[in-house]
Each structure stands twice: as structure tokens, then as C-alpha cells.
Amino acid sequence: MEVKDLVQKYQDYVRDLRRYFHQYPELSYEEVETTRRIADELDKMGVPYTINPEKNTGLVAVIQGGHAGKAVALRADIDGLNVTEMNDVPFKSKNEGKMHACGHDSHIAMLLGAARMLLDVKDDIYGKVYLVFQPAEEMGSGSQYMINFGNWYNEIGAIFGGHIWIDVPAGQISVEAGDRMAAGGQFIIKVHGRSGHGAQPQESIDAVVTASAIVMNLQTLVSRRYNALDPVVLTIGTLHSGDRFNIISGEAVLEGTTRYFNTEVGKDLKESMERIIMDTAHAYGATAEFEYWIMVPPTVNDEECSAIAQGAVKKVLGEKALFHMQKTMGGEDFSRYQEHKPGCFAFVGFNNPAIGAVNSHHSNNFTIDDSILSGGSGVYAQSAIDWLKTHCD
């Protein structure tokens, strides 16, 4: 039996699982019940696993093939978001103010579907496949949490993962080699001025004006310091300041993110931002504090792993299912796995205007065409099988 023959067999299983998990989203590092439900499914399959005891969320399972060989991993993230769902569907979120608005419910279901498929063909597998169900991708730290758990990461020769993606048509998958998702930095700027009466600005140091100037001056980094052919994003997401309409604010707090692919740019960003922030604050008579940290490095697909994944797409879904997608400035902590192991991160398309599957990730109207999920399961399973066969002794 071939994996492509199992896609239809597990169509309902994967879809129904996704709809179950969609109803019970849990936030990063709180996915205890989600982990238990995953464990229940693995128990039914007879697949051994270990739950990460540090926070009782996240687990690693393993399927041993019928032949000796190396080890490879498949990864799914499992956390939801602080989003109130607006979709009117029978499987709407039951956890108020929480929603699987990024599709991680689909990732759980696809990996469990892949587990079923791998078991059906396990006698033909050379080596073993680790199944990694990872919490806290939305915080950018869940992958390191799982790397530190057990010895699975040291054992594997490669890792495959993916994300359902709005920019890819339903039924198609993008698995190009090279840069796929950007590095992500996060920062906080605190501006300290001197508050006073709104009618007497000369007696104050206006934190709102200073913060506004910092916002505008930071934009020159992208437009004037870095090569226009080398993508960089610098976004101020929040600016909080002031208490009343007729009071000049003495304090302001700004938060934002940076995105880039070139690691040399990443090294320069912090220093350049700090210089502009401090000099601008000084020019307005204020002072500033600046905190900056890297959330995730860039996600870069290995050439060989990408070729294996492309072959898997062709085998399971046909050559027309391959989709070429430009790299994206979004970030993904799958990149932590790729720092020391080759890997491939896939974009599994679900965009289908006919059923309203057109809203972006993190939207409270986010919905998908979940008929495509078992195909994603098949590609995951086939990628693992083919990598192991390619690397068998």
C-alpha cells in the first residue's frame, strides 16, 4: 500500500480531529488538555510517547519502522491565541476569548493523520519517525522547550514541519528551498519626559511628541540604511502615553517588532535603533530605555530536505499540487530546529473563496478548507519515509 492511497481513507478522521481541537483552544504553555487529547489518540494507535513534564504540555511520540535505520522528526505546533471567534459554525470555540485563529488545530490533526498513515506502512519504513507536538509557537520559545526535552533532537538527522497558509490555494503546497520565513525581533522603548499642564508646554518635556519623533525617525532605517533588495521590516505595534486630554504626558511606552533574513542586518539593527532612539530622546530633552531581543532566527529550508518534500508532494497529490510561493516576513520558531539540523517547512494551502476560506491568520473570522488536511498528512508521512529511505545504511 502507498501513502497516496491512504489520503482518502483518513479524510474524515483528520477533518473531525481538527474540528474537535478547534473547539478547545489553549494558550501557549497552557495546552495541558490538548496534550492529553493527543495522548489519547496515540494510545488508541498503540504509539508510545512521553509528555514533557516541565509544564505538562507538549509530547514526543515515536513510530519504529520495520527496518533498521536513522531517525527523522515531524513537528506540529498546538497553541491557540487570545482571539474571540466570530465564525458561526457548529465547532466554534468553546473557550471564551480564545481561538485557533492561526491553524494549529489543523497542524495537530495533520500530524495525527500522518501517524495513522505511517502505522499502515510501518513495515516498509527504514528507521524511526519522531512525532513532535510542540506548545508555545506563538511565543517563539516552544521549539527550544521541546529541543531541551529528552534525546530525540540529538538522534534525528532531519526535521519536517509546516503551516496551513492563506496565500496558497486549497490543495496545493509550497516547499521551496532557501529562505522561507523571516527572523523576528521584539523590542520595548520607554520614554521619560516631564509631565505638566497642557496649557504650559514650556514647563514640561512631552513624552508623546518625543515618542512620535522616535517612531518617524526609526522608519529611516528601513528606507535609507539598508539595501532595498534586502527586505527589512520595522513595525511599532503599540504606543501608550498620557492620562488626560489637558495633561502633557511625561512617560510613553512603545512596543514593536523587526523582521529580516540577512543575519548581518540583524546584528546591525539593534545598535542602529538604539542610536536613533537615544539621540532623538536627547534632542527633545527626554531620556529613553531600549530593550531588544531575538524571538526567532530565519526559517531556511535545506536543499535536500526540500527536494524530498517536493517529491513527496508529487507522489501523494500529483505534480500540479506544487505551488511556488515567495518568502514571507512572518516568523516561525521551527527555525530553532533548523539551526543544528537540516529541515523543510511546508506551506499547505487552504484558500478557497467558495466556502469563505479567505481571511488572514489571527483574524477572528479565520476559517479554512479542512478537506485538504489529509493530503497534508500524506505529504508529511511520505517526506519522513523518503528521507529515511534515502539515508538508510
Residue 123 identity (one-letter amino acid): D
**Domain boundary residue among 296, 318, 334?**
296
User: Grid coordinates standing for 282?
Assistant: 536627547
User: What is the residue range of 287's domain?
Assistant: 183-296
Same domain, 44 and 86: yes
150 & 244 share domain: no
Burial of 28 (C-beta count, 10 Å sphere; 0-12/13-18/19+): buried
Listed residues 296, 330, 360: the one ending a domain: 296
Q: Are residues 212 and 139 in the same domain?
A: no
Asked whether residue 133 falls in the same domain as residue 82, the answer is: yes
Q: Which residues pair with 77 in a beta bridge?
A: 134
167 and 78 together in one domain: yes
88 contact partners, CB below 8 Å, separation of at least 6: none
Instruction: Note whether 322 and 292 are same-domain residues.
Output: no
Can you give the CATH number for the domain in which 359 is found? 3.40.630.10
Domain end point (choices 267, 296, 325): 296
Burial (0-12, 13-18, 19+ Cβ within 10 Å), 101 = buried
Q: How many domains does the chain have?
A: 2
Where do runs of H (alpha helix) occur along 148-258?
Answer: 152-155, 207-220
- Asked whether residue 235 falls in the same domain as residue 105, the answer is no
Strand order in the sheet with 287-296: 232-241, 251-260, 183-192, 287-296
CATH number of domain containing 213: 3.30.70.360
Annotated binding site for Mn(2+): 102, 104, 138, 163, 362
**Same domain flag for 289 and 214:** yes
User: Is 154 found in the same domain as 44?
Assistant: yes
52-67: per-residue pLDDT in tens?
Answer: 999 999 999 999 999 9
189 plus 305 within the same structural domain: no
Supply the mean pLDDT for the chain. Answer: 97
pLDDT score of 129: 98
User: What's the whole-model pTM score?
Assistant: 0.94
What is the pLDDT at residue 393? Answer: 75
Over residues 117-172, the pLDDT tens digits come to: 999 999 999 999 999 999 999 999 999 999 999 999 999 999 999 999 999 999 99
Kindly provide the b/e burial profile for residues 119-133, where b requires at least 16 CB atoms within 10 angstroms of the residue's own CB.
Answer: bbbbebbbbbbbbbb
- How distant, in Å, are the alpha carbons of 30, 55, 103, 141, 154 from that of 149? 17, 11, 24, 13, 10
10-55 pLDDT tens trace: 999 999 999 999 999 999 999 999 999 999 999 999 999 999 999 9
Taking only the tens place, the pLDDT of each residue in 261-284 is 998 999 999 999 999 999 999 999
Identify the band that residue 1 occupies on the pLDDT scale cut at 50, 70 and 90: confident
Q: Answer yes or no: are the C-beta atoms of 89 and 355 closer than 8 Å.
A: no
Q: Are residues 43 and 147 in the same domain?
A: yes
Q: Are residues 99 and 20 in the same domain?
A: yes
